Amino acid sequence: MVKQRKALSLISGGLDSMLATKAMLEQGIHVEGVNFFTGFCVEGHTQALRKKDNKKPKRNNSLWVAQQLGIKLHIVDIVDEYKDIVINPKHGYGANLNPCLDCKIFMVKKAQEWIEAHDFDFIFTGEVIGQRPKSQRKETMPIISAESGANDLLLRPLCAKNLPETKPEREGWVDRDKLFDFSGRSRKPQMALAAHWNIDEYAQPAGGCCFLTDPNYSGKLKDLWAHRGNKYYELDDIMLLKIGRHLRVSDHFKMIVSREEGETRFLEGYRKQFTYVKTLSHPGPITLLDGDDISAEDIYLASAITARYSQGRDEAEVTVLVGQPNKEPREMNVIPKKANEIEKHWLL
Ligand code: SF4
Protein backbone atom coordinates (compact mmCIF):
# COMPACT_ATOMS: atom_id res chain seq x y z
CA MET A 1 0.00 0.00 0.00
CA VAL A 2 1.21 3.51 -0.80
CA LYS A 3 1.84 5.44 2.41
CA GLN A 4 -0.28 8.56 2.70
CA ARG A 5 2.03 11.50 3.14
CA LYS A 6 1.35 14.19 5.71
CA ALA A 7 2.18 17.86 5.27
CA LEU A 8 1.94 20.99 7.37
CA SER A 9 0.64 24.13 5.65
CA LEU A 10 1.60 27.59 6.90
CA ILE A 11 -1.75 29.35 6.78
CA SER A 12 -1.93 33.11 6.95
CA GLY A 13 -5.61 33.26 6.09
CA GLY A 14 -5.01 34.85 2.68
CA LEU A 15 -5.68 33.48 -0.78
CA ASP A 16 -2.18 32.12 -1.52
CA SER A 17 -1.95 29.80 1.46
CA MET A 18 -5.54 28.73 0.81
CA LEU A 19 -4.70 27.76 -2.79
CA ALA A 20 -1.46 26.01 -1.84
CA THR A 21 -3.39 23.97 0.70
CA LYS A 22 -6.10 23.13 -1.80
CA ALA A 23 -3.41 22.04 -4.30
CA MET A 24 -1.96 19.57 -1.79
CA LEU A 25 -5.38 18.24 -0.80
CA GLU A 26 -6.12 17.69 -4.51
CA GLN A 27 -3.02 15.46 -4.61
CA GLY A 28 -4.30 13.30 -1.77
CA ILE A 29 -1.91 14.62 0.88
CA HIS A 30 -3.10 14.69 4.49
CA VAL A 31 -2.79 18.36 5.37
CA GLU A 32 -2.96 20.16 8.69
CA GLY A 33 -2.42 23.89 9.01
CA VAL A 34 -0.48 26.08 11.38
CA ASN A 35 -0.99 29.75 12.04
CA PHE A 36 1.44 31.72 14.16
CA PHE A 37 0.18 34.46 16.48
CA THR A 38 2.84 37.18 16.70
CA GLY A 39 0.77 39.94 18.32
CA PHE A 40 1.13 42.13 15.22
CA CYS A 41 -1.77 40.60 13.30
CA VAL A 42 -4.27 43.09 11.90
CA GLU A 43 -7.39 41.03 11.56
CA GLY A 44 -9.99 40.71 14.27
CA HIS A 45 -8.88 43.45 16.58
CA THR A 46 -9.42 46.50 14.40
CA GLN A 47 -12.55 45.09 12.78
CA ALA A 48 -14.05 44.52 16.20
CA LEU A 49 -13.24 47.98 17.58
CA ARG A 50 -13.62 50.48 14.79
CA LYS A 51 -16.91 51.56 13.24
CA LYS A 52 -15.41 51.98 9.76
CA ASP A 53 -14.35 48.30 9.79
CA ASN A 54 -17.53 46.98 11.38
CA LYS A 55 -18.82 45.61 8.09
CA LYS A 56 -15.79 43.36 7.61
CA PRO A 57 -16.34 39.85 8.92
CA LYS A 58 -15.09 39.50 12.49
CA ARG A 59 -13.37 36.21 12.06
CA ASN A 60 -9.99 34.63 12.26
CA ASN A 61 -9.22 34.13 8.57
CA SER A 62 -6.81 31.24 9.11
CA LEU A 63 -9.50 29.32 11.02
CA TRP A 64 -12.02 30.23 8.36
CA VAL A 65 -9.70 28.91 5.59
CA ALA A 66 -9.16 25.68 7.54
CA GLN A 67 -12.88 25.28 7.99
CA GLN A 68 -13.55 25.95 4.29
CA LEU A 69 -11.00 23.33 3.25
CA GLY A 70 -11.89 20.84 5.99
CA ILE A 71 -8.49 20.62 7.66
CA LYS A 72 -7.29 20.86 11.23
CA LEU A 73 -5.60 24.13 12.22
CA HIS A 74 -3.06 24.64 14.99
CA ILE A 75 -2.80 28.23 16.23
CA VAL A 76 0.57 28.67 17.88
CA ASP A 77 1.39 31.63 20.13
CA ILE A 78 4.94 32.78 19.36
CA VAL A 79 4.66 36.24 20.95
CA ASP A 80 7.66 35.86 23.28
CA GLU A 81 10.05 34.08 20.93
CA TYR A 82 9.13 36.45 18.11
CA LYS A 83 10.40 39.51 20.00
CA ASP A 84 13.99 38.72 19.07
CA ILE A 85 12.99 38.63 15.38
CA VAL A 86 11.43 42.09 15.56
CA ILE A 87 14.16 43.57 17.73
CA ASN A 88 17.26 42.08 16.06
CA PRO A 89 16.47 40.90 12.53
CA LYS A 90 19.63 39.41 11.02
CA HIS A 91 18.46 40.30 7.51
CA GLY A 92 17.14 43.73 8.46
CA TYR A 93 13.79 45.40 7.99
CA GLY A 94 11.64 46.02 4.93
CA ALA A 95 10.23 49.45 4.14
CA ASN A 96 8.96 49.73 7.74
CA LEU A 97 9.74 47.69 10.85
CA ASN A 98 8.75 44.48 9.07
CA PRO A 99 11.51 41.87 9.40
CA CYS A 100 9.89 39.73 6.69
CA LEU A 101 12.81 37.51 5.75
CA ASP A 102 13.74 36.69 9.35
CA CYS A 103 10.05 36.23 10.13
CA LYS A 104 9.61 33.69 7.32
CA ILE A 105 12.75 31.81 8.35
CA PHE A 106 11.55 31.72 11.95
CA MET A 107 8.06 30.48 11.08
CA VAL A 108 9.37 27.75 8.77
CA LYS A 109 11.85 26.75 11.50
CA LYS A 110 8.95 26.42 13.97
CA ALA A 111 7.04 24.43 11.37
CA GLN A 112 10.06 22.14 10.86
CA GLU A 113 10.22 21.50 14.62
CA TRP A 114 6.49 20.76 14.54
CA ILE A 115 6.69 18.19 11.72
CA GLU A 116 9.60 16.45 13.45
CA ALA A 117 7.60 16.23 16.67
CA HIS A 118 4.43 15.04 14.91
CA ASP A 119 5.94 12.70 12.33
CA PHE A 120 4.81 14.69 9.29
CA ASP A 121 6.70 14.44 5.98
CA PHE A 122 7.04 17.99 4.71
CA ILE A 123 6.02 21.66 4.97
CA PHE A 124 4.53 23.92 2.35
CA THR A 125 3.70 27.60 2.03
CA GLY A 126 1.71 29.81 -0.33
CA GLU A 127 4.80 31.82 -1.27
CA VAL A 128 5.07 33.08 -4.85
CA ILE A 129 8.34 34.31 -6.35
CA GLY A 130 8.36 38.06 -6.83
CA GLN A 131 5.20 38.66 -4.87
CA ARG A 132 6.81 40.58 -2.00
CA PRO A 133 9.88 42.73 -2.59
CA LYS A 134 11.81 41.63 0.50
CA SER A 135 10.89 38.10 1.44
CA GLN A 136 9.45 36.49 -1.68
CA ARG A 137 12.24 36.77 -4.22
CA LYS A 138 13.99 33.97 -6.10
CA GLU A 139 17.18 34.66 -4.09
CA THR A 140 15.39 34.54 -0.72
CA MET A 141 13.62 31.22 -1.27
CA PRO A 142 16.79 29.11 -0.76
CA ILE A 143 17.78 31.30 2.22
CA ILE A 144 14.47 30.52 3.93
CA SER A 145 14.82 26.80 3.16
CA ALA A 146 18.41 26.63 4.42
CA GLU A 147 18.32 28.92 7.46
CA SER A 148 15.09 27.41 8.76
CA GLY A 149 16.63 23.94 8.63
CA ALA A 150 13.72 22.67 6.51
CA ASN A 151 15.94 22.49 3.38
CA ASP A 152 14.25 20.47 0.65
CA LEU A 153 11.34 19.51 2.86
CA LEU A 154 9.91 22.95 2.14
CA LEU A 155 7.65 23.03 -0.91
CA ARG A 156 6.01 26.07 -2.53
CA PRO A 157 3.22 24.55 -4.62
CA LEU A 158 2.24 27.84 -6.33
CA CYS A 159 5.70 28.51 -7.78
CA ALA A 160 7.38 25.10 -7.49
CA LYS A 161 8.00 24.82 -11.23
CA ASN A 162 10.24 27.90 -11.05
CA LEU A 163 12.34 26.36 -8.28
CA PRO A 164 14.59 23.29 -7.94
CA GLU A 165 12.85 20.03 -7.13
CA THR A 166 12.21 19.35 -3.47
CA LYS A 167 12.18 15.97 -1.75
CA PRO A 168 8.37 15.60 -1.87
CA GLU A 169 8.58 15.99 -5.66
CA ARG A 170 11.67 13.76 -6.12
CA GLU A 171 10.20 11.01 -4.02
CA GLY A 172 6.87 11.17 -5.87
CA TRP A 173 4.90 12.17 -2.76
CA VAL A 174 3.51 14.99 -4.90
CA ASP A 175 3.27 15.26 -8.67
CA ARG A 176 5.41 18.19 -9.84
CA ASP A 177 3.46 18.36 -13.09
CA LYS A 178 0.38 19.36 -11.13
CA LEU A 179 2.16 22.19 -9.32
CA PHE A 180 2.30 25.78 -10.56
CA ASP A 181 4.74 28.35 -11.96
CA PHE A 182 3.24 31.59 -10.67
CA SER A 183 5.55 34.57 -10.31
CA GLY A 184 5.36 38.31 -9.91
CA ARG A 185 2.95 40.65 -8.24
CA SER A 186 -0.07 39.99 -10.44
CA ARG A 187 -2.85 38.19 -8.61
CA LYS A 188 -4.62 37.10 -11.78
CA PRO A 189 -3.30 33.50 -11.87
CA GLN A 190 -4.36 33.02 -8.24
CA MET A 191 -7.79 34.44 -8.91
CA ALA A 192 -8.20 32.20 -11.97
CA LEU A 193 -7.16 29.16 -9.93
CA ALA A 194 -9.59 30.12 -7.17
CA ALA A 195 -12.37 30.38 -9.75
CA HIS A 196 -11.35 27.00 -11.20
CA TRP A 197 -11.81 25.45 -7.75
CA ASN A 198 -15.05 27.38 -7.13
CA ILE A 199 -13.46 29.35 -4.32
CA ASP A 200 -15.36 32.60 -4.48
CA GLU A 201 -14.76 34.03 -1.02
CA TYR A 202 -11.35 34.77 0.40
CA ALA A 203 -9.57 37.47 2.39
CA GLN A 204 -8.51 40.33 0.15
CA PRO A 205 -5.21 39.34 -1.48
CA ALA A 206 -2.07 41.16 -0.34
CA GLY A 207 -4.18 43.16 2.05
CA GLY A 208 -1.73 44.08 4.83
CA CYS A 209 -2.15 41.29 7.37
CA CYS A 210 0.60 42.53 9.67
CA PHE A 211 0.92 45.87 11.45
CA LEU A 212 4.70 45.85 11.05
CA THR A 213 4.28 46.77 7.38
CA ASP A 214 2.23 49.85 8.33
CA PRO A 215 4.28 53.08 8.36
CA ASN A 216 2.14 54.72 11.08
CA TYR A 217 2.34 51.70 13.32
CA SER A 218 6.09 51.36 12.75
CA GLY A 219 6.51 55.06 13.58
CA LYS A 220 4.75 54.53 16.92
CA LEU A 221 6.86 51.48 17.70
CA LYS A 222 10.06 53.45 16.92
CA ASP A 223 8.85 56.24 19.21
CA LEU A 224 8.17 53.72 21.99
CA TRP A 225 11.68 52.27 21.70
CA ALA A 226 13.32 55.70 21.46
CA HIS A 227 11.62 56.98 24.62
CA ARG A 228 12.15 53.84 26.66
CA GLY A 229 15.82 53.76 25.73
CA ASN A 230 15.67 50.13 24.55
CA LYS A 231 13.96 48.06 21.86
CA TYR A 232 12.02 45.83 24.24
CA TYR A 233 8.21 45.48 24.20
CA GLU A 234 5.43 43.60 25.96
CA LEU A 235 2.29 42.25 24.31
CA ASP A 236 0.22 45.07 25.87
CA ASP A 237 2.55 47.66 24.30
CA ILE A 238 2.08 46.36 20.78
CA MET A 239 -1.67 45.92 21.27
CA LEU A 240 -2.04 49.52 22.46
CA LEU A 241 -0.12 50.79 19.42
CA LYS A 242 -3.07 49.53 17.35
CA ILE A 243 -5.59 51.60 19.26
CA GLY A 244 -6.42 55.29 19.53
CA ARG A 245 -4.68 58.54 18.77
CA HIS A 246 -1.12 58.62 20.17
CA LEU A 247 0.32 61.98 21.22
CA ARG A 248 3.90 62.34 22.35
CA VAL A 249 3.46 65.44 24.48
CA SER A 250 6.61 64.96 26.51
CA ASP A 251 9.78 62.88 26.54
CA HIS A 252 8.63 61.01 29.62
CA PHE A 253 5.03 60.20 28.72
CA LYS A 254 2.62 59.94 25.83
CA MET A 255 -1.16 59.99 25.63
CA ILE A 256 -3.32 57.29 24.06
CA VAL A 257 -6.71 58.88 23.34
CA SER A 258 -9.67 56.77 22.22
CA ARG A 259 -11.24 57.87 18.94
CA GLU A 260 -14.63 56.20 19.27
CA GLU A 261 -16.83 54.16 21.56
CA GLY A 262 -15.30 50.77 20.74
CA GLU A 263 -11.82 52.07 21.52
CA THR A 264 -13.03 53.74 24.71
CA ARG A 265 -14.41 50.45 25.99
CA PHE A 266 -11.21 48.65 25.01
CA LEU A 267 -8.97 51.21 26.75
CA GLU A 268 -11.16 51.13 29.86
CA GLY A 269 -9.80 47.61 30.35
CA TYR A 270 -6.38 49.19 31.07
CA ARG A 271 -7.54 51.59 33.82
CA LYS A 272 -5.87 49.63 36.61
CA GLN A 273 -2.44 49.68 34.91
CA PHE A 274 -2.25 53.30 33.80
CA THR A 275 -2.95 56.82 34.94
CA TYR A 276 -6.06 57.72 32.97
CA VAL A 277 -8.38 60.62 32.27
CA LYS A 278 -12.04 60.26 31.28
CA THR A 279 -14.38 63.14 30.55
CA LEU A 280 -17.38 63.23 32.92
CA SER A 281 -19.37 66.38 32.19
CA HIS A 282 -19.50 65.75 28.43
CA PRO A 283 -19.30 62.66 26.23
CA GLY A 284 -15.69 62.17 25.27
CA PRO A 285 -12.73 59.88 25.14
CA ILE A 286 -10.67 58.07 27.69
CA THR A 287 -6.94 58.77 27.69
CA LEU A 288 -4.17 56.56 29.04
CA LEU A 289 -0.94 58.25 30.10
CA ASP A 290 1.90 55.92 29.19
CA GLY A 291 5.19 56.79 30.86
CA ASP A 292 7.03 57.28 34.14
CA ASP A 293 7.12 59.98 36.82
CA ILE A 294 3.85 61.51 35.74
CA SER A 295 3.36 64.78 37.63
CA ALA A 296 0.24 66.80 38.53
CA GLU A 297 1.12 69.21 35.67
CA ASP A 298 1.29 66.30 33.23
CA ILE A 299 -2.14 65.11 34.36
CA TYR A 300 -3.60 68.60 33.96
CA LEU A 301 -2.13 68.95 30.45
CA ALA A 302 -3.40 65.50 29.43
CA SER A 303 -6.84 66.32 30.85
CA ALA A 304 -7.05 69.63 28.97
CA ILE A 305 -6.09 67.85 25.73
CA THR A 306 -8.60 65.07 26.43
CA ALA A 307 -11.30 67.72 26.99
CA ARG A 308 -10.41 69.15 23.59
CA TYR A 309 -11.43 65.82 22.01
CA SER A 310 -14.74 65.73 23.94
CA GLN A 311 -18.09 67.33 23.15
CA GLY A 312 -17.25 70.00 25.71
CA ARG A 313 -14.39 71.34 23.60
CA ASP A 314 -16.02 74.78 23.25
CA GLU A 315 -17.06 75.09 26.91
CA ALA A 316 -15.21 77.16 29.49
CA GLU A 317 -14.61 74.06 31.63
CA VAL A 318 -14.91 70.30 31.38
CA THR A 319 -15.00 67.93 34.33
CA VAL A 320 -12.82 64.85 34.03
CA LEU A 321 -12.22 61.81 36.19
CA VAL A 322 -8.56 61.10 36.91
CA GLY A 323 -7.49 57.64 37.99
CA GLN A 324 -4.05 56.47 39.03
CA PRO A 325 -2.88 52.97 39.91
CA ASN A 326 -3.57 52.23 43.61
CA LYS A 327 -5.35 55.57 44.19
CA GLU A 328 -9.03 56.53 44.45
CA PRO A 329 -10.20 58.22 41.21
CA ARG A 330 -10.90 61.95 41.64
CA GLU A 331 -12.76 64.64 39.69
CA MET A 332 -11.06 67.70 38.27
CA ASN A 333 -12.19 70.71 36.22
CA VAL A 334 -10.02 71.74 33.28
CA ILE A 335 -10.03 74.35 30.53
CA PRO A 336 -10.11 72.50 27.19
CA LYS A 337 -7.14 73.15 24.91
CA LYS A 338 -7.89 75.04 21.72
CA ALA A 339 -7.34 73.32 18.38
CA ASN A 340 -4.29 75.51 17.67
CA GLU A 341 -2.76 74.50 21.04
CA ILE A 342 -2.56 70.86 19.99
CA GLU A 343 0.94 70.74 18.56
CA LYS A 344 1.16 68.90 15.24
CA HIS A 345 4.41 67.18 16.19
CA TRP A 346 2.67 65.55 19.20
CA LEU A 347 0.61 63.34 16.92
CA LEU A 348 2.41 60.09 16.19
S1 SF4 B 1 4.34 40.95 6.81
FE2 SF4 B 1 4.64 40.51 8.99
S3 SF4 B 1 3.97 38.39 9.25
FE4 SF4 B 1 4.29 38.71 7.07
S5 SF4 B 1 6.40 38.06 6.71
FE6 SF4 B 1 6.47 40.25 7.07
S7 SF4 B 1 6.86 40.46 9.27
FE8 SF4 B 1 6.16 38.35 8.91
Give residues with Cβ within 8 angstroms of 70, minimum separation 6: none
Pocket test for ligand 1, best of 96, 104, 242 (most atoms within 8 A of CB): 104
State the pLDDT at residue 72.
98
Q: How many helices (H) and strands (E) does the chain have?
A: 12, 11
Secondary-structure percent of the chain, ordered helix, strand, coil, rounded to 5 = 40, 20, 45
pLDDT grade for 136, boundaries at 50, 70 and 90: confident
The pLDDT tens digits of the residues spanning 25-83 come to 999 999 999 999 999 987 656 656 666 666 666 678 899 999 999 999 999 999 999 99
- Nearest protein Cα to ligand 1, atom 3: 210
Question: How many of the other CB atoms lie within 10 Å of CB of 326?
Answer: 5
Ligand 1 pocket at CB < 6 A? 98-100, 103-104, 135, 210, 212-213
Pick the CATH number of 6-196 from 3.40.50.970, 3.40.50.720, 3.40.50.620, 1.10.10.10: 3.40.50.620
State the pLDDT at residue 133.
67
Give me the residue spans of the domains in the chain: 6-196, 243-346
Q: What is the spatial distance between Cα 280 and Cα 289, in angstroms, rounded to a whole number?
A: 17
The pLDDT tens digits of the residues spanning 185-205 come to 888 999 999 999 999 888 764
Whole-model pTM: value is 0.91
Is the separation of the CB atoms in 168 and 155 below 8 Å?
yes
Span from the CA of 178 to the centroid of ligand 1 (angstroms): 28
